[in-house]
Amino acid sequence: MRAIDYVAVQDAPAALEKLSARPMETSLVAGGTNLLDLMKLHVRNPALLVDINGLPLDQVEELEGGALRIGTLVRNSDLANHRLVRERYPVLSQALLAGASPQLRNMATLGGNILQRTRCAYFRDVSQACNKREPGTGCAALEGYNRMHAVLGTSNQCIAANPSDMNVALVALDASIQLRGPEGERDVPFAAFHLEPGTHPERETVLKPGELITHVTLPASGFASRSRYVKVRDRASYAFALASAAVALQLEEGTIQDARVALGGVGTRPWRSTEAEAVLIGQKADEVRFKAAAAAALKGAKTRTHNAFKVDLARRTLVRALSLTAGLV
Ligand SMILES: Cc1cc2nc3c(=O)[nH]c(=O)nc-3n(C[C@H](O)[C@H](O)[C@H](O)COP(=O)(O)OP(=O)(O)OC[C@H]3O[C@@H](n4cnc5c(N)ncnc54)[C@H](O)[C@@H]3O)c2cc1C
Ligand code: SF4
């Protein structure tokens, strides 16, 4: 039995004070649905748990100009069902509702979902080699069973996929993340928040030790009427994405004025494809163009023994999402 200290805090300064005392040994608890899972598997072994559920960060606020600022403790169910999110960012609502189960969504928070760890089975099994869990030990997935793993943004040290559905919608919507730490507050574009594994798969985000996510801001968007999240998974009940696509289009008389494309289940980070967007913008919204965009999105894919099927699956998922969004099917 290992002793763990637990403290519940009521405001951000108290959370930061606890975090900065011993940042490497402390974990924040939000919904707890990912952290406590990993603690039971001995993948995470914090000495101090700081429960942040008392922080006043559970609101969705409308900012001047129409942007939305979402507190880190807003539960996934509440965010998915928020009137302004459903009206203005349907792709986000759909992505949230495609993730996990109703019970999990009732507990899971915005910040916890952004930071949830990979579902790579070798990462979750402490008897296996894993550079992400323990740098320098190797990667059991490279020559192991890698059907669920990424094909975009991989390195020869790690091929784990980012598991979040919500993150795919947030990167497509040009969200930004507000952070607060010992050196003050800073704002990071969502697309720059998650890191590719490279030679340091243990570093997954630009969050510094001792920092807290406080909010996510969604810019005012003209994409409300045409945005869509499509997720392909092994079963209809809760399951992580094999491939998914978050898409938003602005159309005028059948021509694409603006486009947003992001993929899930295939990338080591939430995967915005500006390459696919460039193929779409200024062109007619039809299947030929959508297939060209999907080919551009998957161009750099690198496959392993069991996950080669994901390339075609992701292409088809993206074509389906674009076709649904454009009203072609
Ligand atoms: C059976 C099962 C199925 C699932 N299926 C899906 C799925 O299909 N799609 C999907 O997207 N997800 C899925 N999930 C994952 C689920 O969405 C995550 O567990 C959840 O979103 C994590 O949120 P949380 O608030 O519980 O995080 P926690 O477990 O509380 O925290 C996760 C991490 O974030 C850190 N953290 C939390 N908040 C902050 C903050 N404000 N600042 C800094 N650090 C913070 C914690 O310290 C911890 O390291 C599934 C989970 C389970 C158990
Ligand atoms: S893919 Fe990444 S997370 Fe999975 S075993 Fe390899 S290093 Fe670890």
Token pair 């910040």 in the structure block, residue: 111
- Does residue 256 form part of some domain? yes
The tens digit of pLDDT for each residue in 16-59 reads: 999 998 888 999 999 999 999 999 999 999 999 999 999 999 99
CB of residue 163 inside a 6 A radius of ligand 1: yes
Q: Which of 16, 32, 53 is the last residue of a domain?
A: 53
**How many angstroms is it from 169 CA to the middle of ligand 2?**
24
Ligand nearest to the CA of residue 160, numbered in listed order: 2
| Two tokens, residue 323 | 């076709």
**Beta strand segments in the chain, E:** 5-8, 26-29, 48-51, 60-62, 68-71, 176-181, 184-189, 212-218, 227-232, 243-252, 255-264, 271-272
Residue range of the domain that includes 44: 5-53
Counting atoms of ligand 1 from 1, which one is nearest the CA of 37?
53
- Does residue 274 form part of some domain? yes
- State residue 190's pLDDT score: 98
- Does residue 155 form part of some domain? no
Give the CATH number, domain containing residue 46: 3.30.43
Structural domain count, the chain: 2
Counting atoms of ligand 2 from 1, which one is nearest the CA of 128?
5
The pTM assigned to this predicted structure is 0.98
- Does residue 62 form part of some domain? no
pLDDT at 224 over 90: no
Give the CATH number, domain containing residue 296: 3.30.390.50
- Does residue 267 form part of some domain? yes
Counting atoms of ligand 2 from 1, which one is nearest the CA of 146?
1
- Does residue 190 form part of some domain? no
